[in-house]
Amino acid sequence: MRNRPRLRNKLALVALLSGVLLTGSVPMQNPRVRSVGELLSCQCGCGASLSSCNMQNCHSAGPLRAELLRMVEAGVSDDQILATFEREYGKIILRKPPAEGFYLIGWVMPFVGLGGGLALIWFILQRYIARRPAAAAAGTSIAVGAEPDSPELARYRERIEKELSDMEGGQK
């Protein structure tokens, strides 16, 4: 019975050591692999980062994670890792494209689109505001094709007034 606590302690120590050793050898258990993996895109087409791709049996994430773990364990710096992946797979693997050359369009176009949209709204509002005072000065009850003080308009107004007075007289 005295050997049982020792055996239990030895088993606990083996379990603890195997957990510590496995932490470095499983790619997603290594915090540095996860942080660098967030900067790289998975190449399976899911649009997720290498760290967050959760597609079961992903043909891309597994080998890339293993390669990333190998580089991290070899002591390669983050910048060198990113440069190696960029050289092997192209700039498409980078989640944040560089702000140079053709990729500069990806950084500039959202702001150009936003500025253009705001300019268009401002232009439309200016035209709308410029038309409102002109319409108010001309009067809103002008008949189509009639001058503001034309005899034709005066005749219509008299007819409307007469019909309104007839309606009021008939209701009483």
Q: In one letter, which amino acid is 37?
A: G
Residue 29 DSSP symbol: G
Domain boundaries, the chain: 3-96, 104-139+146-171
Q: Which of 28-37, 61-70, 74-83, 126-135 has the lowest mean pLDDT?
A: 126-135
Higher pLDDT, 55 or 143: 55
Residue 111 in this model has a pLDDT that exceeds 90: yes
- Phi, psi (degrees; rounded to nearest 5) at 22: -70, -25
Dist CA 47 CA 58 (whole Å): 13
Dist CA 90 CA 95 (whole Å): 12
The tens digit of pLDDT for each residue in 118-128 reads 999 999 999 98
Is residue 151 very low, low, confident or very high in pLDDT (cuts 50, 70, 90)? confident
Q: Is 123 helix (H, G, I), strand (E, B) or coil?
A: helix
Report the Cα–Cα distance between both ends of the chain, in Å, rounded: 115
CATH ID of 3-96, from 1.10.8.640, 1.10.760.10, 1.20.1560.10, 3.30.70.20 = 1.10.8.640
Is residue 132 very low, low, confident or very high in pLDDT (cuts 50, 70, 90)? confident
Q: Count Cβ atoms within 10 A of the Cβ of residue 37 and give its class: 0-12 exposed, 13-18 middle, 19 or more buried.
A: buried
Residue 34 in this model has a pLDDT that exceeds 90: no
Please, are residues 89 and 82 in contact by the beta-carbon 8 Å criterion?
no
The tens digit of pLDDT for each residue in 56-65 reads 888 888 888 8
pLDDT for res 12: 73
- Phi, psi (degrees; rounded to nearest 5) at 94: -80, 130
Q: If you average pLDDT over residues 64-79, what whole number do you get? A: 90
* Distances 63 to 42, 57, 58 between C-alpha atoms, Å: 10, 11, 9
Per-residue H/E/C for 65-86: HHHHHHHHHCCCCHHHHHHHHH
